[in-house]
Each structure stands twice: as structure tokens, then as C-alpha cells.
Amino acid sequence: MNNKQVDILLGTYNGAKYLSKLLQSIEKQIYTQWKLLVRDDCSKDETKNIIVEFKQKYPEKVEIIDNEGKNLGACKNFLKLLEYSKSEYIFFCDQDDFWLPDKIEKMVNKASKVEKKYSDIPFLIHHDLIVVDENLRTISDSFWEYQFIKPDFCNTLPRLLVTNSVTGCATMINKKLRDLIIPAPSNVIMHDWWIALVASAFGKIFWIPDRLVLYRQHGKNDVGAKAWNLPYIIKKAITFYNREALLKGFRDTIKQAECFLNRYKEELSEPYKFTVEAYINLLNDGFLKRRINIIRYGFLRTGLIRNIGFLLRI
């Protein structure tokens, strides 16, 4: 059995309401070779006290990273934590979720299988989640079904340039991938998205269908779950001709792609370099050429309806 040390990176901010439940779920992990790295992002509630109490209980298993009085935001907070991680496997942890007892064990077992088949590669592994309300009552048994995510379709560089399909709290990476990510530039939309981009370009992304986290929805999530169902589609259809939100989000992804190209232009393979450049230039293309390049390079979303809406409006 694989008994490698794993790091759990926990970025906190005003999370006192749910944090204790999360820490209890980490305590109950079947796989016990874990270390918790916590950086609090200048909370104003009892979050810091809860963390300190947990460290007192497990002094050898908890490391509190000094925030130097700087509020970084969720994305930069996790990327800062990544700089302190030294273990072979690294997990990302949200303050308001609940881990099922076999989460680490199943992910590490998958990592062992990956390493037997692929030697010396950077990799990312992610899993499905159970969507729950603030009281941990089930909303959906599958986050992927709830949002109509197809992990085997989404995990390529062209598709990840358009939209993210990897959820941070469901993600594990190895140290080789971590070493490629650090240092990360400032113009990153979210840490999990950036990590997935790097993994797709320089390593491999794997997934398992197990639902290993209760993904809590409470209205204050940085990124939450939105049901892909008929009412949601109708709501989107009503705002079909309002392109501003779509274009703003699209421009943000282009800025992120520019950062990605600048950060990795010396290491990227020529085909991937051409792909990223083509994505960056989409808004400079004419009406017809833009749509041809979206299809040609595979800058696609999941599902026919999403792609029809994207192609008609972009």
C-alpha cells in the first residue's frame, strides 16, 4: 500500500461557521499520512482560533503559514500555500466542505496506478462530488451530472482555455506538477483552473467517478454549483442577446491565456503554442474565421446547447 506523505492545502477566510466540521472530516480520514498546511487570509471571525486549537491537538500534523497581514483572495492564497508544499502528493481543501473518510485513500490508490503505468510525469487527479446545502442535505448525488460536466471530454488544453471543469477541493496533484506551477503569475482566474491548464499542457489529467466530498452550497461560495436543467436553460435563453457578461468572461479567459503563453512559451510544444495563440487572437478574427477556429482547434464547451449558444453569441 502507498504510504507517501500528502499535504492538504487549506486556505481560509471568515470560515468559522463550517470550518470545525471540515477539520473533523480530515481527522477521520482512513489514510493517516497527511499534513495540513493552513494560511488564513486575514479573517475577522473566529477562524484563526479554530485553526490554532486544531494545531494544538495535532502539533506535528498542522503547519500555520504566516499571512504577513496580507489579504490575497482565494486564488492567490492557494497558490501561496503551494509554495510551501514539499510532499509528493498535494490536495486542495475548501473551508466549508466535508471530506468522506476514504477520500485521500482512494486518490492515493489512483495515483499509485498512474505511476505504475506512466513513469515520471506531472499529473492531476480529480473526482466527482455530492452537492449539499448548508446543512449537508443532499441536493444532487453527482456534481458532474448536476452541472453536466463530462470529465473525459473537458480535460484537454483547448477546452480548458475556454472553461474550467476541475474543482479545486476535488483535486490532487503530484510534486512534479507543483514544480511546474510555481511561481504562478498574477492574472490567474482561479487556482484550480490554472493548475488544470498546466497539467493538460505538460502532463496528464485523470479522474475517478467516486463522490468523495460533500460540496456545500450556502450563497457565499467563491465558485458554486449551478444546476444544468430546464429552468436554468430557459433563464439563459431569456438573456440570450445580452452579450456583455459573456464577452467579459471571454476576455478574462483570453487574458489568462496570454499569461499562460508568457509564462510557458519556452516550454510549450509548438502545437500547443499555436493553439494558445489562436485562442488569444479569437476576438481579432472576423465573424466567420472566429467560428472556424473555435471548431478547428476544439475551443468547445460541454454539450450541444452550450456550444450553439457560444458560437451564436461570441
User: Which of 97, 189, 78 has the alpha carbon at shortest distance from 143?
Assistant: 97
Q: What is the pLDDT of residues 273-284, one digit of tens each?
A: 999 999 999 989
Q: Which CATH superfamily is 6-216 part of? A: Spore Coat Polysaccharide Biosynthesis Protein SpsA; Chain A (3.90.550.10)
Average pLDDT for 245-255: 88
User: Which of 122, 143, 111 has the alpha carbon at shortest distance from 207?
Assistant: 111
Distances (CA, A) of 158 to 99, 167, 188, 236, 278: 31, 18, 17, 24, 10
Pick from 6-10, 110-114, 215-219, 224-228: least confident: 224-228
User: Which of 49, 44, 51 has the alpha carbon at shortest distance from 22?
Assistant: 51
Q: What is the pLDDT of residues 49-106, one digit of tens each?
A: 999 999 999 999 999 999 999 999 999 999 999 999 999 999 999 999 999 999 999 9
pTM here is 0.91
Helices (H), 74-156: 74-84, 103-117, 143-146, 151-154
Cβ-based burial of 226 (10 A; exposed 0-12, middle 13-18, buried ≥19): exposed
Please state the domain extents for the chain: 6-216, 230-313
Q: What is the pLDDT of residues 192-244, one digit of tens each?
A: 999 999 999 999 999 999 999 999 998 655 555 556 455 654 555 555 456 67
Task: Report whether pLDDT(158) > 60.
Answer: yes
Angle between helices 47-57 and 16-27 (to 10 degrees): 20
Compute the distance between CA of residue 65 and CA of residue 205 in angstroms, rounded to an integer.
Answer: 29
